[in-house]
Structure 1
Amino acid sequence: MTSLLATLSAGAVFGVALAAPPGPMNAIIAEESVVRGWLAGFKAGLGAMSADAIFFVLAALGVVTFVEQFPLLRAAMVGVGGFLMLYFAYGAARDVRSSFRPGAGAADESDPRVGTGFRKAFVLALTNPYQILFWLTIGVGLLQPGTVDVLAQTPYVGDALAGTLVVSTGSPALIAGFFGGIVLWITGFPAALVGAERRVEAFAPIVAGLSAVVLAGFGLLFLAESAGTFL
């Protein structure tokens, strides 16, 4: 039982570590949360997680590695992702203005705008080279049978902690914990943003503006990376 809990916990840590860093996915989740409510932000997170689930299946089948063998195909995917990020950055910039209007946000589940974040995050995640790279490296390692001594890698005290937390890779518990960690993030992150937005009236336009900047920056970065491959 202890080993099972350790494996689940390690998987959850991996999941949160993948989902938490700032980037285009969290920019969309943040924008959707503060402009349209918690449900919209959660659905945006589900979009990104759904793409990870697809990558998980493709990695298990070896398809992700196959795609990486064709640089031009990968560059085309990155370029498409760059254009989409610039387009969504424009939408986020428009939300900066609309979020100043009373009642502009839409936390009502019946509002059709609540579901748009899922589609945006899903499409972007499928063309995100960082997620593809994750599943080519760490993700593939999670699927292969073996073990990893988590605390042995701790700086300075790793030797003393070696063997304390050894988890099995390739186990269903690790994968379940991994996606459980992502669920924790896409549930808590939008809730924290919505709570902050309710306390600070100007929070929504600020987050929408920062989301536009992040998306535009990553969009230009992806386009430059794609162009560098073709030129």
Structure 2
Amino acid sequence: MTALIVTALAGILFGLALAAPPGPMNAIIAEESVVRGWAAGFRAGLGAMLADAIFFVLTLAGVVAVIDRLSGLRPALYVAGGCLMLYFAVGAIDEARAATSFTDAAGSAASGFRKTFALSLTNPYQISFWLTVGVGLLEPGTLDVLAYAPAVGSALAGSLVVQTGSPALLVGFFAGIACWIVAYPAALVAAGRRVDAFAPIVAAGSAVVLVGFGVLFLAMGLGIV
């Protein structure tokens, strides 16, 4: 029982470590949270989480590996993802101009869900994760959990090794992502209600992040970098 709990907790930690770093998904979640409220931010997080669940099922079925063998698909995904990010960045810029304070404006509450879901399905990094680490989660063996944490992975390698192929690890992994998409929008909303200027600042920051990743993805898809 203790080993099962440790494995589940490791999965939660792994899910949090992957969901928390700055990136286009968190930029959209932030924008939705401070402009439209917690529910909109949570829905945006659900979009990315649903895409992960779909990739999980496709990995089980072996479809993701087949997709990766199609040589021209990865550059096309980079270009598509880059174009989507730049398109969503325009919307974030409009939000930054319109948002004078924190608001629970209803607006298009489902738009964040659609944005993150579409970006996740065209995100080569997410596909690569499920081709490598995702397959490792499903197959019996061991996983060095913290070694995959962005930026600090090399320093933490070897500090938490768990058994893979366990349902507890997979449940914990998605539970960790769920914890993030609940807590992150809540923290942003709490901060936004205390500081009126927070909403336009976050929306502008989201636009900058989306433009940066959009240009990077386009350059990678076109073979410039």
TM-score by length of 1: 0.88
Q: Deviations over 1:170-221 (max 9, x none)?
A: 1111000000000000000000000010111100000000000000111111
Matched residue, 2:99: 99
Say which of 141, 144, 149 aligns to 1:146.
Answer: 141
TM-superposed CA distance for 1:32, in Å, is 0.2
Change (3 A) 1:119 1:78: same
Change (3 A) 1:143 1:96: same
Matched residue, 1:204: 199
SS class of match (2:222)? helix
SS class of match (1:228)? coil
Matched residue, 1:60: 60
TM-superposed CA distance for 1:167, in Å, is 2.6
d(CA) in 1 for partners of 2:145 and 2:46? Answer: 28
Task: List structure 1 segments (4+ residues) > 4 angstroms apart after TM superposition.
Answer: 149-158
TM-score by length of 2: 0.90
d(CA) in 1 for partners of 2:112 and 2:156? Answer: 43
Say which of 158, 162, 167 aligns to 1:167.
Answer: 162
SS class of match (2:206)? helix
Unaligned runs of 5+ in 2: 148-152
2:63 corresponds to which letter in structure 1? Answer: V
Q: Deviations over 1:121-152 (max 9, x none)?
A: 00001111111111111111011112346699
SS class of match (2:73)? helix
TM-superposed CA distance for 1:106, in Å, is 2.9
d(CA) in 2 for partners of 1:155 and 1:34? Answer: 34
SS class of match (1:22)? coil
The answer as to whether partners of 1:106 and 1:114 remain within 8 angstroms in 2 is: no
Matched residue, 1:219: 214
Matched residue, 1:186: 181
Deviates most, 67-76 or 114-123: 67-76
d(CA) in 2 for partners of 1:118 and 1:157? Answer: 34
1:18 corresponds to which letter in structure 2? Answer: L
1:27-106 pair list within 5 angstroms: 27-100=27-100, 105-106=103-104
Alignment coverage as a number of residue pairs: 220
SS class of match (2:162)? strand
Matched residue, 2:6: 6
1:199 corresponds to which letter in structure 2? Answer: R
TM-superposed CA distance for 1:73, in Å, is 1.2
The reply on whether 1:134 has 2:132 as its aligned counterpart is: no
The answer as to whether partners of 1:47 and 1:119 remain within 8 angstroms in 2 is: yes
Matched residue, 1:16: 16
d(CA) in 2 for partners of 1:15 and 1:166? Answer: 15
Unaligned runs of 5+ in 1: none
RMSD of the alignment, in Å? Answer: 2.4
Structure exhibiting the larger radius of gyration computed from Cα positions: 1
